[in-house]
Amino acid sequence: MTDTKAILETLSKDFPDPKSELHFNSPYELIVAVILSAQCTDKRVNLVTPALFAEAPTVNELAAIPTERLEALIRSCGFYRTKAAHLKQMARDVKERFGGNIPDNIEDLQTLAGVGRKTANVVYAVGFGGQAIAVDTHVFRVANRLGIVDAKNVSDTEKQLMQAIPREQWADSHHYILLHGRYVCKAQRPLCDSCSVSGYCKYYGEHHV
């Protein structure tokens, strides 16, 4: 049986300051950055957001910014037409339905344009200090390789992680697993020989005899 506790304790030493690598100063800036980060690196998003937030410091300006201008500002993040449409609709949603304040719960967050379960969990956990486990491609891959979960999709991965990890550790554990996937347990070539948790890893046990 996978020793989830030992894995998380080990990863907590590898990543003693678990937090998002996106730059933001408010829930508004965070939700915009997370929407932009789909299929894009956090580094790229961090290059784009300063100019965007200078022109659109709140949902009011974001809702009003001409679409062509918004697309130009976020173009390098990829999928810029879809992301621009989502950002503008999200800003309108927040203005019209939530008085201009980014909602602080997962259910309301998920009603916003461009905000799926993963984004809602990130904003709830990182922006509001809630406990949630956002499952992206890294978390899905690493949790399955380690054997903490045995899941075929992100939804089941989230449910199984929530069962395997104490609630008060959900947010930090999300960062540990994500950062481990980003820097060590990479998709194509996991760095198993320098991995701190190889001794607990199901994939390692199956592939390194």
Catalytic (active site) residue 19: no
Find out whether 45 and 203 touch, Cβ atoms under 8 Å: no
* No. of helices (H) and no. of strands (E), the chain: 13, 0
Q: Indicate if 118 belongs to the active site.
A: yes
* Binding-site member from 60, 96, 191, 206 for ligand SF4 (CB under 6 A): 191
The CA distance from 177 to 185, in Å, is 9
Catalytic residue among 95, 118, 172, 186: 118
Q: Is 173 exposed, middle or buried (0-12, 13-18, 19+ CB in 10 A)?
A: buried
Rounded least distance, CB 118 to ligand SF4, Å:
21
Q: Which of 83, 88, 93, 136 is catalytic?
A: 136
* Residue 158: Cβ within 10 Å count: 24
Should residue 185 be labelled a site residue for ligand SF4 when binding is judged by CB under 6 A? yes
Closest CB 17 distance from ligand SF4, rounded Å = 21
- Which residue, 45 or 195, is less far from ligand SF4 as judged by CB? 195
Site for ligand SF4, rule CB under 6 A: 145-146, 184-185, 190-192, 195, 197-198, 201, 203-204
